[in-house]
Chain A
Amino acid sequence: MHPAYSVIFFTTATGAGYGLIALLGLLAAFGLVQPDLWFGFTSFGLASCLIAAGLLSSTGHLGHPERAWRAFSQWRSSWLSREGVAAVLTFVPIGLLVLGWVVLGRSGGWVAAVGILTALCAAITVSSTAMIYASLKPIAQWHSRFTLPGYLLYSATSGLVLLSAIMQAFGRPSAAWMIAAILFTLASWGWKLATWRHNDGAGMAADLNSATGLAGGTVRSVEWPHTEQNYLMKEMGFRVARKHQQKLRTIVQLAAFALPAGLLLIDLLFGGGISTLLASLAVVSQLSGLLVERWLFFAEAKHTITLYYGLA
């Protein structure tokens, strides 16, 4: 599948933003961090910026962005529409949480309730994003049991790493959150490796025999209907060279998982004066790595239309 840059940025940025905001909701709900105006302002500000930038970017690949409001209407059948509705609804508990926890400095009671609601809404929004891809039967690499948990895991992981960096910056280092960030990063690494192994063996959702109705024997494409690349080949037939694929997979493992986990571990053990720097580097490295991961998510996906062109 052709990787649209706006969609790659959108899923990565909102993933990290919703991950962070869900964690802030849980922190507020269970009183794990005392309310603080500047900590709250910075962390909610950062998460909201990631979400808003991602959502705006998602309209970048549309043919008619001015009609994007229509996408809220078909939530009964469409995961894309559900995602839009969930994304907008999530801003309600976020707003209430900012009012109660950040501005009024309260915790417990209704603030705890909207904290849990924020986390729940964020999880629903990320799940809807994942289901857009997981529900597409023509693409075996997406229509798998790995897609939904993957999106939730990478969202929680990047949220945790962001949270660790913000806590360091505000002089509230917490070993528990850093250990959680490291463990989630390692779990994400494992999940990505398992996903790649599954995808490499998944092949295509159908074969050319059933695609053409020609039962038995082998079917081989000998002539395309056209001499130049058309929309279908550009959009669905996007192929990344094998050698690049392996290099990119190495980059993902280093930047998104190995380096952040290592930086956070060094930070945890010997942090001291440069702990904020180390945690910030972990954030930058992981988000860059996840952008490459998302690029591969699209580039490695094989659509059944490529069967018809003999490109599968």
Chain B
Amino acid sequence: MTCVPATTEKSLGLVIDLDSCVGCQACVTSCKEWNTGGHMAPLTDLKPYDGGVDGVWFNRVHTYEQTTDAGSRTVHFPRSCLHCAEPACVTVCPTGASYKRESDGIVLVNEDKCIGCKLCSWACPYGAREFDTDVGVMKKCTLCVDRIYNENLPEADRVPACVAACPTSARHFGDLADPLSPVSQLVEARGGVPLMPELGYRPTNRYLPPRAKKSNAVTSGAPPLSDASPAGGFLGWVDRLLSA
């Protein structure tokens, strides 16, 4: 059914730290590598070695410049499915292919039921869904549902591929419905925010804003460089002699 469950037992999701993300794209490639063989496989690539390259990705990292009174800063911004509590992408689905799981809140697509009408991608304000023109069905982030419960993996690896890959620990995975979970406490401590809350989709994922710049930043204390063409003194005499 494409009616959304009133409550879910858990609200699994991601917390993304915009202060630590360095825009290295490791989460992007790791996501692609895992998922092109995972639940929604394949993540089709079209013309990969040609002009007009295109393909399905579940995770994309943008780069923005934020300018405030305190100055400008560069912010790398990973964008993926937020596994909303009110996912309009699910309710607009005419076939029941899109659904939100009652057990953990993950939003998934049943590829065998999808007719490829693309309406769900129109209904998502975040651009989380990408149409696979090769297979003719809609694809989206599965929160690595085939990793997080996978008993064939060591317990430490039972996290989404993007979280496992992040070299700066900017990505965190957990139950955001549980106020005592590490991710909930991180959101609490850092003032994590939902994206476009005014649209009413109630996204599960949270973004941690960059920390304020330090006004008492460390200075290097190195002396200023000496003049390259001094007018007087010994160096001035050498300079004049060699310039002649």
Minimum distance in angstroms from B42 CB to a CB of chain A: 15
Does B149 interact with chain A (Cβ within 8 Å)? no
Does A137 interact with chain B (Cβ within 8 Å)? yes
Q: Specify which chain A residues have a CB less than 8 angstroms from the CB of B207 in the assembled complex.
A: 212-213
B199 & A67 in contact (Cβ 8 Å cutoff): no
Does A200 interact with chain B (Cβ within 8 Å)? no
Which of A30-38, A96-104, A303-311 binds B? A303-311
A218 & B67 in contact (Cβ 8 Å cutoff): yes
Chain B 121-158 near chain A by CB (<8 Å), digits 1 or 0: 11111110011110111100000000000000000000
Q: Specify which chain B residues have a CB less than 8 angstroms from the CB of A138 in the assembled complex.
A: 122-125, 199
Minimum distance in angstroms from A300 CB to a CB of chain B: 15
Chain A 51-88 near chain B by CB (<8 Å), digits 1 or 0: 00000000001111101101111101111110010000
Q: Can you name the residue of chain A whose Cβ is closest to the Cβ of B69? A: A217
Determine the distance from Cα of A228 to Cα of B52 in the docked complex, in whole angstroms.
6
Does A139 interact with chain B (Cβ within 8 Å)? yes
Determine the distance from Cα of A94 to Cα of B118 in the docked complex, in whole angstroms.
31
Q: Can you name the residue of chain A whose Cβ is closest to the Cβ of B210? A: A214
Q: Specify which chain A residues have a CB less than 8 angstroms from the CB of B57 in the assembled complex.
A: 225-226, 230
A216 & B198 in contact (Cβ 8 Å cutoff): no
A303 & B122 in contact (Cβ 8 Å cutoff): yes
Minimum distance in angstroms from A78 CB to a CB of chain B: 5
Q: Which of B104-129 contact A (CB under 8 A)?
A: 113-119, 121-127
A77 & B123 in contact (Cβ 8 Å cutoff): no
Determine the distance from Cα of A215 to Cα of B196 in the docked complex, in whole angstroms.
11
A213 & B62 in contact (Cβ 8 Å cutoff): no
Does B235 interact with chain A (Cβ within 8 Å)? no
B95 & A236 in contact (Cβ 8 Å cutoff): no
Q: What is the total number of residues of chain A having a CB less than 8 Å from a CB of chain B? A: 59
Determine the distance from Cα of A68 to Cα of B94 in the docked complex, in whole angstroms.
9
Does B74 interact with chain A (Cβ within 8 Å)? yes
Most chain-B CB neighbours within 10 Å: which of A132, A211, A236? A211
Determine the distance from Cα of A79 to Cα of B97 in the docked complex, in whole angstroms.
15
B63 & A223 in contact (Cβ 8 Å cutoff): yes
Q: Can you name the residue of chain A whose Cβ is closest to the Cβ of B131? A: A231
Determine the distance from Cα of A85 to Cα of B233 in the docked complex, in whole angstroms.
95
Does A246 interact with chain B (Cβ within 8 Å)? no
Determine the distance from Cα of A218 to Cα of B124 in the docked complex, in whole angstroms.
24
Evaluate whether A214 and B66 lie within 8 angstroms (CB atoms) in the complex, with A63-B137, A71-B117, A305-B126 already known: yes
Q: Can you name the residue of chain B whose Cβ is closest to the Cβ of A81? A: B94
Name A71's contact: one of B54, B56, B90, B94 (CB within 8 Å): B94
Most chain-A CB neighbours within 10 Å: which of B4, B65, B90, B137? B65
Q: Can you name the residue of chain A whose Cβ is closest to the Cβ of B196? A: A206
Minimum distance in angstroms from A140 CB to a CB of chain B: 11
Minimum distance in angstroms from B36 CB to a CB of chain A: 16
A230 & B54 in contact (Cβ 8 Å cutoff): yes
15 A-B residue contacts at CB 8 Å? A63-B115, A64-B137, A71-B94, A77-B91, A78-B2, A81-B95, A206-B196, A214-B64, A219-B65, A221-B64, A222-B63, A223-B63, A226-B60, A305-B124, A308-B62
Q: Which B residues lie at the A interface, using CB under 8 A? A: 1-4, 18, 25, 28, 51-57, 60-69, 74-75, 77, 79, 88, 90-97, 113-119, 121-127, 130-133, 135-138, 193-201, 207, 209-210
Known: A84-B94, A221-B63, A305-B124. 20 other contacts (CB 8 A): A65-B115, A67-B95, A70-B97, A70-B115, A71-B94, A73-B95, A78-B2, A138-B122, A212-B195, A213-B193, A216-B68, A217-B66, A221-B64, A222-B63, A226-B57, A228-B51, A229-B52, A231-B131, A232-B121, A308-B127
